[in-house]
Chains A and B, each alone.
Chain A
């Protein structure tokens, strides 16, 4: 009998356990997670769940783990991987032996070492209790101050506006999501939020949080003082690699895995936010989105059972803000051409990002079908004609080169 151990019980770890059983693997599965609850979906935490419109969406029903003979150890932290003994050392000092191991420890929020960060009413958002705390603060607040306008900041801004709060955001860059989307598409997000009454201050950053026993104001580097009853900081995440750092599993901005999600240590894999994988199209990347964790969870289960398949997913995510559905596929850090299909001002468009003619990524507002349809093109390394991309009458499914 073999034992497969999964460290980290978020979307990736939970899905890996589920997929192993779905595939008929009947050896031992141990799923170790620091959070006390079974794996749940994080995307709603900044959206439906934050607004009180939904309860948690669990990756598998709570009874699934017992029913499928998965040794679920929730509320336990894995401290260290011992690659020579092939054991995982847990926070309580106990050890779990493995034949194969999946590291799915995810990421944690970046924290600024700023005065006042510890004040009640200053939040960040990662886990379910963080969302509960923000909800609770929002009940007694009329104005929120947000630091950072990446996806989490933008989604929280939208949700708090929808709950009736005034929202002011301080963002270091020149538009929301500028680093990810560039100024043009970042500008479309800015307009969306301006149209919904969010006040945004760009090219400024948090200096300190002030308050007498509770948050009262944010003071910025440029000397602004922005008052509010609550603050939410969303300035990005970093991979949780400690479990591997005292072992010979290589880490470097994440845990290094090859295109099959395997580390350089035999039988040890990494998936999700923590995995810096070799993607056949995008190169060495680390992706911090729900769908990636899920797809890698499904994929690693197959490979642990011997499939040895390359993970070539096009990468895809969504972000719902107000009544606008945002979706994006692919991966681009730089591009030299942006082709628009649809109408940016009406917030009904797809934007195709190309470099040297190669389609790398598709971003959309209320135009999601072409995000999906572009994914096979991105993976196939297609250089589509700009005029065809811009023409809504052209079905992207017809642009794919014939498969052999």
Chain B
């Protein structure tokens, strides 16, 4: 049984004036149907590019994408149209993702018009249903996006994505631009929709608490590469890659007595333009040695827990060792 979506060694390079920018470099993962894969990493690490490349909004430079067992890396126009009805995207900024000249109903109706095969009344009925599904009041039908708050706008974006009844949705930081209280509402809505419709999500975010809340599995990206991949619980309890550890140590804990040791990363993020082979985190890693300059591979350390770090076993042993001596 093949996975619902599988990505093998996916690469997306951009040619820039200063060299080739490796936005996504050799990323592989699988997602099972009805689950959520969280993708975390700091800005500019290629999370969004990864999502857009899978959706063919950007052409991939290399690697393969399988959707429901079928190779969809290179598809013709007809196939692409069909695929896009299955795969949708929800954008980060609900202010720039909605055309300011179109009313709410026009925005939600557009995918239906483009798909065709529906009478106008059927479409209106469908729009009404979709608005109800995402929790938009019917009186907003003729409202314009600028009249609504961020949460409502994001609901419009979700309704538009759902209109074609897709089975797979890339959520590109869908709650980053929202207030915390509204974030929770939108996240709950997305989880409800996932349960009702059996949706599969790739959830891209830099917000660790959000990703913990919603994901079944989490990928950590650094400069276009996957550095760690593990089930959600496992990753938060037992982060293995030095970068993941630093990332998780940055989560604030609301407790004055709990003084957690934060791992502060030194130095700037290295350039993604023509990167050197080897671990891209090495320049900022406190454990880095000469061995880290060689190309790294994802290794399964615990069942389902993959890490791309040569020193991970060694570091882990020393950690266990330390705990024993204390």
- A, B from the same assembly: no
Give B contacts to A, CB under 8 Å.
Answer: none
Give A contacts to B, CB under 8 Å.
Answer: none
